[in-house]
Structure 1
């Protein structure tokens, strides 16, 4: 893989198999190419009540279903993105299936997943996937395929207590940045929700949160009820 491709690797689509405690338990799948599409769906449950003999209805909120999302991406075996090194499409599909659908002995089910693409990070489970082979060599072996996979967001229950601790006004986390770290991914690890990365960037006065300096320190302040961080402690 060339230098430019390696530089983009932290932002490539990654599917990481994890256990119920969100710890990696297998080899992650890393896509060569950016996804063709990422569609996120949110469903809210409303209960309607229409009295007999009247028109219209009063709706009351019941709950919000877990988010679902669909990702479509390409797998290539021609070597176009790997300096001519041809990685068989069948091998890449096998790695994708091993990460997403293989039954883990300790879990007695496929692994939970962390899906990360750029600033999108979600702990989830996979619902289904379709692999469409679109190009073949003269022997009939596939050399290009398109994968369409759908997922449902999953909340890691053991992290609920951690999130409760994070609501304390006296608790601030300090993290030393390592090479290749991304602010949304670090934010997800601290709060289990990458959407706080804007508040963390402001709290640390980051001018460019896309390029974190290795060795630097970031403060992750607690979040209040309005999902806004309090000022980081200077102690």
Structure 2
């Protein structure tokens, strides 16, 4: 591998097998070429409540599904990116499968994964992958292939608990008031319920909560009665 390619290698797409707690447990797959495409999909479930005999429906939030993302990247066995050293495409596919789909003896299932490319870092599982062989040598062996892989994001339980605590209405929050902000709206942003704005006004000793001073900081205390 030439010096330039070796210098870029740490920044290439990496797929690391990890255990339930996020600790690496196997050999990572390091892509020779960076992804040609990274597509991220987000889905939100809404429940439609339609009144009998009326057109249309009110939508109520149900849940946010885990993100899914798709990667497209190339495997090459011609040596074009490795200073003439030819790494068989079939071997590269084996390494990819070992990291992503191989059943781990201790786990009795494929490993969870950590995918990292640039600033994109995600713990996830592999949903599916397709390897399309696009070039062959004179014997019929593949020397180039395209990989299309789809993943579903996974939040490590301890991390999920921490994120939940940070957004909990049982904790004290602080917000800086911007020009035009209204107390009921700010209250809704913190508690997902604007009905607590009078409690917030009392906690901050506001004389006129309808005219907030821009630049001031409001304290949103733990709420006593969650609805």
Deviation, 1:32, is: 0.6
Which structure has the bigger radius of gyration? Answer: 2
Q: Deviations over 1:197-226 (max 9, x none)?
A: xxxxxxxxxxxxxxxxxxxxxxxxxxxx9x
Paired position in structure 1 for 2:20:
20
Structure 1 unaligned spans of 5+: 170-224, 226-235
Q: What are the equivalent positions in structure 2 for 1:158-197 lying under 5 Å apart?
A: 158-160=158-160
SS at match of 2:157: coil
Q: Which whole-Å CA distance do the structure 1 matches of 2:23 and 2:162 have between them?
A: 15
List 4+ stretches of structure 1 deviating above 3 A: 158-169
Q: Which whole-Å CA distance do the structure 1 matches of 2:53 and 2:166 have between them?
A: 51
Corresponding residue pairs, total: 170
**Alignment of 1:112 onto 2:112:** yes
Q: Deviations over 1:81-123 (max 9, x none)?
A: 0000000000000000000000001111000000001110000
Q: Which whole-Å CA distance do the structure 2 matches of 1:165 and 1:154 have between them?
A: 18
Q: Which whole-Å CA distance do the structure 2 matches of 1:164 and 1:58 have between them?
A: 27
Q: Which whole-Å CA distance do the structure 2 matches of 1:142 and 1:26 have between them?
A: 26
Deviation, 1:35, is: 0.6
RMSD: 2.0
Q: Which whole-Å CA distance do the structure 1 matches of 2:164 and 2:147 have between them?
A: 38
Q: Deviations over 1:167-200 (max 9, x none)?
A: 999xxxxxxxxxxxxxxxxxxxxxxxxxxxxxxx
Q: What are the equivalent positions in structure 2 for 1:42-57 lying under 5 Å apart?
A: 42-57=42-57
**Alignment of 1:30 onto 2:30:** yes
Superposition TM-score, scaled by structure 2 size: 0.71
Q: Which whole-Å CA distance do the structure 2 matches of 1:155 and 1:82 have between them?
A: 36
Q: Which whole-Å CA distance do the structure 2 matches of 1:95 and 1:150 have between them?
A: 17
Deviation, 1:165, is: 8.4
Q: Which whole-Å CA distance do the structure 1 matches of 2:165 and 2:91 have between them?
A: 43
Q: Which whole-Å CA distance do the structure 2 matches of 1:161 and 1:6 have between them?
A: 39
Paired position in structure 2 for 1:77:
77
**Alignment of 1:86 onto 2:74:** no
Q: Which whole-Å CA distance do the structure 2 matches of 1:147 and 1:37 have between them?
A: 11
SS at match of 1:86: coil
Q: Which whole-Å CA distance do the structure 2 matches of 1:122 and 1:140 have between them?
A: 37
